Amino acid sequence: MSPRRKLEPGQQPLFCVTPPRMSRRWGLPLVAMLTTAIAAAAITVCALDLNSHDMQRRTTIKDAAALSYVRSFMTEFTSPDPFHANDYTDRILAQATGDFALQYRKNQNEILIQVARAEPTTGTVLDAGISRWNDDGSVEVLVTTKFTSKSRDGKLQLERANQWVVTAEQEGEWWKISKLTPMI
């Protein structure tokens, strides 16, 4: 057995026992903060990229819808049928709006007579591309068309190409032509 020693009050102990000093571990909190910052930055970059991709997708869909409509309209516009001249002018007028509708309505009788006197013509769109989007939501499309018709005797086939600037605007869910300008 070891002898025990009694300490008097106020006397210092022989062996000082200091509590062990806790060393701070900075590694784990530092790694957690860096990981959180990197994760937040990655989420922000992904969100911005997703937003950019979605805007580009919407623009592409809108461009495709406008081009598809203008191609369809120009094919119909450049293919007058003299045997159904009234139907032709009614279909074109139904797809017109703005200045184009006013001019077409004003000259509808003259157009009807010209279509009725003409030979059947087949129009095709060779190429179309968006020129620009206007601030009012309308789009200007450059279109190259080709007219093909036969002479009255049926021996000669006539072809000619034209270029147009077509302004289309969306009214509700439907596209309509507001301006049609031939390029010289």
Q: Above 50 in pLDDT, residue 1?
A: no
Amino acid at 48: L
R_g of the chain, CA atoms, integer Å: 40
Strand positions, DSSP E, 24-156: 121-133, 139-150
pLDDT tens digit string along 145-174?
998 887 777 777 788 899 999 999 998 889
- Catalogue all structural domains in the chain, each as residue range(s) with its CATH number: 27-183 (3.10.450.50)
For 102-112, write each residue's pLDDT tens digit.
Answer: 999 999 999 99
The Cβ-side half-sphere exposure at 94, using a 13 Å CA radius, reads 9
CA distance 103 to 49: 46
Q: pLDDT tens-digit profile of 53-79?
A: 999 999 999 999 999 999 999 999 999
Among residues of the chain, what percentage have pLDDT more than 70? 94
Please state, in angstroms and rounded to a whole number, the distance separating the CA atoms of residues 78 and 123: 5
User: Does 126 have pLDDT greater than 60?
Assistant: yes
